[in-house]
């Protein structure tokens, strides 16, 4: 059994290929628990957070990605992509999801 198959068995869900996400960009996954934003940064790290800014629910997926952060398009809050925490001095947190890359495929636990 390939690693992907065992991951799928363990409850991970196949989302897309890493190349389907633009570098320093994002894609939105529709899920039963709301929209989830999947980000890819310049180091090809992949992150997943609930697509709502803790400030005024702006769609984080539409923001500019830099380092391991995204800037919300509505009022420029900066959110840490790995934890979902707002960067100080702003305070707030959006839910983050487990995500990993195997064989060039993005897998999400949500």
Partner 1 sequence: MKKQKLVMIGNGMAGCRTLEELLKLAPDLYEITVFGAEPHGNYNRILLSPVLAGEMTLPEIMLNDLDWYRDNDITLHAGKMVTKIDRTKRKVIASDGTEADYDRLLIATGSTPFIPPIPGADLPGVLAYRDIGDTEAMIEASTKYKHAVVIGAGLLGLEAANGLMLRGMSVTVVHLADWIMERQLDKPAADMLQASLEAKGMNFLLSKQTEGLIRGEGGRVSAVRFKDGMEIPADLVVVAAGIRPNYALAESAGIYCGTGRVRGIHVSDTLQTVTDPRVYAVGECVAHRGIAYGLVAPLFEQGKVAANHLANFGIGRYEGSVTSTKLKVTGIDVFSAGDFSGGADTEDIVLHDKQGGVYKRIVIKNNRIVGSVLYGDTADGSWYFQLMKDQQDIHSIRDHLMFGQNHLGDAGHKGENKAAAMADTAEVCGCNGVCKGTIVKAIKEKGLFSLDEVKKHTKAASSCGSCTGLVEQILASTVGGAYQAVSAHDKPVCGCTELSHGAVRKAIRDHKLLTIPDTMETLSWKTPNGCSTCRPALNYYLISTWPHEAKDDPQSRFINERAHANIQKDGTYSVVPQMLGGVTTPAELKRIAEVAEKYHVPTVKVTGGQRIDLLGIKKEDLPNVWKDLGMPSGHAYGKSIRTVKTCVGAEHCRFGTQRSMAMGIDLEKMLFGMWSPHKVKLAVSGCPRNCAEAGIKDVGVIGVDSGWELYVAGNGGIKTEVAQFLCKVETREEVMEYSGAFLQLYREEGYYLERTVHYVERVGLEYVKKHVLEDADKRKALFERLLFALQDAKDPWAERYAADAAPAVRREFEMLEI
Nearest distance from residue 91's CB to partner 1, in Å? 11
Q: Which stretch binds partner 1 (CB under 8 A): 3-11, 72-80, 93-101?
A: 72-80
Quote the CA–CA distance of 7 and 29 in Å, as a whole number: 19
Interface mask (CB under 8 A) for partner 1, residues 3-42, using x and -?
Answer: ----------xxxx---x-xxxx-xxxxx------x--xx
Which CB, 28 or 93, lies closer to partner 1?
Answer: 28
Instruction: Give yes or no for a contact between 12 and 6, defined as CB atoms under 8 angstroms apart.
Output: no
Quote the CA–CA distance of 18 and 89 in Å, as a whole number: 33
Q: Which stretch binds partner 1 (CB under 8 A): 2-10, 54-62, 95-103?
A: 54-62
Give CA 71 to chain center in angstroms.
13
Provide the token pair at 72: 């919300």
Greatest Cα pair distance, the chain, in angstroms, is 47
Binding site for partner 1 (CB under 8 A): 13-16, 20, 22-25, 27-31, 38, 41-43, 56-59, 62-67, 69, 71, 73-76, 78, 89, 108, 110
């Amino acid at each position: 059994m390939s690693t992907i198959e065992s991951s799928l068995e363990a409850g991970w869900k196949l989302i897309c290929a890493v190349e389907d996400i633009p570098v320093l960009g994002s894609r939105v996954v529709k899920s039963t628990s709301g929209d989830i934003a999947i980000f890819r940064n310049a180091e090809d790290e992949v992150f997943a957070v609930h697509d709502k800014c803790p400030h005024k629910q702006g769609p984080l997926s539409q923001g500019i990605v830099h380092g391991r952060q995204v800037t919300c398009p509505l009022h420029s809050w900066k959110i840490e992509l790995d934890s979902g925490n707002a960067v100080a001095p702003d305070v707030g947190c959006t839910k983050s999801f487990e995500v990993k890359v195997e064989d060039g495929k993005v897998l999400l636990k949500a």
